[in-house]
Amino acid sequence: MSLLTVSNLKTYFHTRDGIIKSVDDVSFSIGQGETLAIVGESGSGKSVSCYSLLNLIPQPPGKIEGGTAIFEGRDLLKMPESELRKLRGNEIAMIFQDPMTSLNPYLTVGEQLIEPLVYHKSMDRKLARKRAIKMLDEVGIVNPECRYDCYPHELSGGMRQRVMIGMALITEPKLLICDEPTTALDVTIQAQILKLIADLQKRHNVATLFISHDLAVVADIADKVVVMKQGKIVETNTCQALFNDPQHAYTRQLIDAIPSGSKAIGKQHERTLVKVDSLKTWFKNYSDKANPWVKAIDDISLEIKQGEILGLVGESGSGKSTLGRAILQLAPVTEGRIEFDGQEVSSLPAKEFRPLRRRMQMIFQDPYASLNPRMTVFDTLAEPLLHNKLATRKTVTEQVLKLMDDVGLARAFIRKYPHEFSGGQRQRIAIGRAIATNPDFIVADEPVSALDVTIQAQILDLIQQLVKEREMTMLFISHDLSVVRYLCDRIAVMHHGKLLECDDNNKIFNSPKDPYTQKLLAALPQIETQEIVEV
């Protein structure tokens, strides 16, 4: 028997540009102890569907126009707010995508854990504290008595997400809604969190509604899968059947867009363009007297060959972004040497390094933060051309239009601002800005981590094409091993500021030498399909 049955759910947003049908006639059901995954790209309506169940959509402009959501015989959509409040965080709990914005920064972890027990269960605070410490231990927090009194900012991303899971499960809910709970996490932390959710679900027999755009994650944990596109359900099936034999063209497109396989072995790159020798970047640590230095980069030596894409992987805090920035003189160098095209650049004064910036560019992780909101596409792409005297006022418009063609942006967008674009389009603008000066070397810092799988595939193909056509060299920084495997010629692995190993793509994935690399690969979600044999 179903625990929750949603029928013909409709949630519309009334805007100045008209009605947006975010959820349009959606129906699904979930049984006790079952995991139902809802997948789709950003804007598909998957999160709005689940938020509508608990009346958590902003009203206005949002409005639930119709449908039913029967939870244990009660229609959630017809419940008064006072009854819903008793249900939220009690019988139905949520785990949000970003725990840093979902947890209260002014309250300790312990205070936030006992709050639902005191509010929903009228539990004595002393008893609630014992229950909270037990829950912290259950979700894998080391030294739970100590962590009970910590504030959210004192915990790592993975630990904060564990606290969120503990808060959701502490009242022993019947239904758990997980909204992209592992999207922002590194692959090893992601694997731990997914295993934790699965273990706790079995232990407590909780039904789980899992929202995600990552099909590899969904394949690991779901019993059934619902695929959404533009507010509608296009396919529903068991997990195995959906991945073995997808029926809808959009489902096939999502599965095909998952980066898979290694990059084909091309020509061997001989000439060294960038050389890093015994590089150290240390930052003063004022909060820990026992460890006075944070060793972001700790004695790294590395060569990047001309024309290759070198992948740099590691967890958050491994020092990979600091290394990329140090090469471009965007982070300080404590000790060591950096050479670019045979010239020592690490000790160059800023004024002498400035002419080299035309040849060394960067693509940042979040284009919305790195693009000037007051500059149109034309202004953004014209600025590096004019500043470096690569265009004149007469030729700049034609050169900008050519750049837009190269990165796959419609020419009609030339006078639009960053906020008028999707995430993928904004990243195309950022790539256009980086290649405007015809650089020899680009550092790409997690350029696709925030993008949906189909958009991610398009951007990766664009990067590959541009590197080949323009004969560029790239340092591609990522924590997503499947992306690095698809794109890069060689791969370097970092951990705690040190370079553990660097080798050809196939060698890293087929015969990793370092135990940490083996651990990263073991944590990578896999989609396992079975051949359908006709008898």
> What is the Cα–Cα distance from 178 to 95, expressed in whole angstroms?
5
Q: Are strands 232-238 and 224-229 parallel, antiparallel or unpaired?
A: antiparallel
- The number of residues in the chain equals 535
Check residue 287 and give its pLDDT: 61
Residue 226: strand, helix, or coil = strand
Pairing, β 293-305 against β 473-478: unpaired
- Position 114: which residue type? I
Q: Would you tell me how many other CB atoms lie within 10 Å of the CB of residue 2?
A: 15
pLDDT tens for 238-290 read 988 998 888 899 988 888 877 765 555 555 667 899 999 999 999 877 766 77
Q: Can you tell me the distance from the alpha carbon of 244 to that of 154, in angstroms, rounded to the nearest whole number?
A: 44
d(CA 213, CA 215): 6
**Spans in the chain with pLDDT lower than 50:** 531-535
Among 504, 501, 502, 498, residue whose Cα is nearest residue 515: 501
Give residue 253's pLDDT.
86
Grouping H, G, I as helix, E, B as strand and the rest as coil, residue 63 is strand
pLDDT at res. 398: 95
Q: Token match 């995954």: residue? A: 37
Place of tokens 């149109």: 376
* Residue 322 near residue 331 (C-beta atoms within 8 A): yes
- The DSSP string of 356-406 is GGGGEEEE-S-HHHHS-TTS-HHHHHHHHHHHTTS--TTTHHHHHHHHHHH
- Torsion-angle region of residue 485: left (phi > 0), alpha (psi -120 to 50) or beta? alpha
Structure confidence at residue 180 (pLDDT): 83
Distance of alpha carbon 184 from alpha carbon 189, whole angstroms: 10
What pLDDT digit, counting tens, does each position of 404-420 carry? 999 888 898 899 998 88
Yes or no: say if 25 and 9 are a contact pair by the CB < 8 Å rule. Answer: yes
pLDDT at 454: 77
| CA–CA gap between residue 470 and residue 467 (Å, rounded) | 5
